[in-house]
C-alpha cells in the first residue's frame, strides 16, 4: 500500500491478501500497467498521448473499467482501487488484451483527487456501487460527501462530468444533496444514453438478486459564472 497523507474519509477496508499466483502476477504486471505510487499523475505522460481522460473510482474486479477501455479506445482510462485481487484481475486482462489505453492507480481515491492529479485534467469520473456503509454510525465513511466534492471539481475540465450508480436510496439522496449544496456550479441531469452501461458487476448482481432498485446520478461541471458588478 502506498503511503499517503491521512485523510478524514476512510471509505474502504483493506483486503490485501493474494494467492501465490496472484502475487506473482501482481509483481510482474504492476510496473508495466500502473501509475507511479507517488507524485503527480499526468495522463498525457502516463499514456504517452493527449486524449480525453476518464477515471473510475473503486472498480472492484474491474468489469466496468475493462468494458469502458474496450468501448472507448480513443479515451485514456484510469482506474483507482485499493483492493489488490481486483487490481491483479485488471492487470491480467490489460496484459492479455494489450489495452494501451487503461492504467491502474493503486491508492486511496481521496488522496489521488486531493493532490495527485493536475487541475482540470479529467473529462469524466465514474463510480459504480461505491461502498454504501448502510449503518448510520458508518455514514461518515461514505466517499461521496462534502469534503470530496471540491476535489472532484478541481480535477475536472469545464463541462466534465461525474456519474455514480448506487443501489442505496439513502446514499443516492445524500450524494444529490452534497453536489447540490457544493460551491461549484454542478448541474444534475439525466444520464446521457451514451453513458448507459449494461455490464453486470459483482455488486450489481448482488443488488439485483436482493431486488434493490438502482439510482443513477449524473452531474456536469459548468464553468463558473462571472458576475458583472
Ligand X SMILES: C[S@@+](CC[C@H](N)C(=O)[O-])C[C@H]1O[C@@H](n2cnc3c(N)ncnc32)[C@H](O)[C@@H]1O
Active site (catalytic) residues: 131
Nearer to ligand X, 202 or 222 (CB): 202
Nearer to ligand X, 108 or 220 (CB): 108
Q: Does 109 bind ligand X (CB under 6 A)?
A: yes
Looking at 177, 195, 202, 222, which residue binds ligand X (CB under 6 A)?
Answer: 202
From CA 15, how far away is CA 86, in angstroms rounded? 10
Residue 199: CB minimum distance to ligand X, A: 9
Using the contact rule CB under 6 A, the part of the chain among 29-37, 77-85, 186-194, 218-226 near ligand X is: 77-85
Q: Does 128 bind ligand X (CB under 6 A)?
A: yes
From CA 221, how far away is CA 60, in angstroms rounded? 26
Q: Does 58 bind ligand X (CB under 6 A)?
A: yes
Residue 223: CB minimum distance to ligand X, A: 28
Nearer to ligand X, 49 or 140 (CB): 140
Q: Does 83 bind ligand X (CB under 6 A)?
A: yes
Looking at 33, 54, 60, 90, which residue binds ligand X (CB under 6 A)?
Answer: 60
All three cell numbers of 28: 510482474
Q: Does 108 bind ligand X (CB under 6 A)?
A: yes
Residues 12-41 that bind ligand X (CB under 6 A): 12
CB proximity list for 21: less than 8 A, separation 6 or greater: none
In the bound complex, which residue of the shown chain has the CB atom lying closest to ligand X? 58
Length of the chain: 229
From CA 20, how far away is CA 17, in angstroms rounded? 10
Q: Does 167 bind ligand X (CB under 6 A)?
A: no
Residue 188: CB minimum distance to ligand X, A: 21
Residue 127: CB minimum distance to ligand X, A: 7
Q: Does 124 bind ligand X (CB under 6 A)?
A: no
Q: Does 219 bind ligand X (CB under 6 A)?
A: no
Interface residues with ligand X (CB under 6 A)? 11-12, 58-60, 80-83, 86, 108-110, 128-131, 143, 201-204
Amino acid at each position: 500500500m502506498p503511503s499517503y497523507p491521512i485523510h478524514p474519509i476512510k471509505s474502504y477496508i483493506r483486503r490485501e491478501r493474494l494467492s501465490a499466483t496472484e502475487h506473482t502476477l501482481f509483481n510482474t504486471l504492476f510496473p508495466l500497467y500502473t501509475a507511479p505510487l507517488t507524485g503527480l499523475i499526468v495522463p498525457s505522460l502516463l499514456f504517452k498521448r493527449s486524449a480525453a481522460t476518464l477515471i473510475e473510482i473503486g472498480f472492484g474486479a474491474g468489469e466496468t473499467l475493462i468494458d469502458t477501455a474496450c468501448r472507448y479506445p480513443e479515451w485514456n482510462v484510469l482506474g483507482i482501487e485499493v483492493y489488490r485481487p481486483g487490481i491483479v484481475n485488471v492487470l491480467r486482462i490489460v496484459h492479455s488484451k494489450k489495452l494501451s489505453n487503461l492504467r491502474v492507480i493503486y491508492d486511496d481515491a481521496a488522496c489521488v483527487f486531493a493532490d495527485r492529479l493536475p487541475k482540470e485534467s479529467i473529462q469524466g469520473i465514474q463510480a459504480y456501487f461505491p461502498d454504501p456503509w448502510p449503518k448510520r454510525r458508518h455514514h461518515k465513511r461514505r466517499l461521496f460527501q462534502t469534503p470530496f466534492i471540491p476535489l472532484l471539481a478541481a480535477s475536472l475540465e469545464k463541462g466534465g462530468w461525474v456519474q455514480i450508480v448506487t443501489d442505496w436510496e439513502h446514499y443516492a439522496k445524500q450524494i444529490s444533496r452534497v453536489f447540490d449544496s457544493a460551491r461549484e456550479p454542478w448541474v444534475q441531469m439525466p444520464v446521457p444514453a451514451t453513458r448507459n452501461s449494461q455490464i453486470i458487476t459483482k455488486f450489481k448482481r448482488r443488488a439485483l438478486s436482493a431486488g434493490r432498485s438502482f439510482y443513477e446520478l449524473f452531474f456536469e461541471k459548468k464553468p463558473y459564472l462571472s458576475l458583472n458588478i
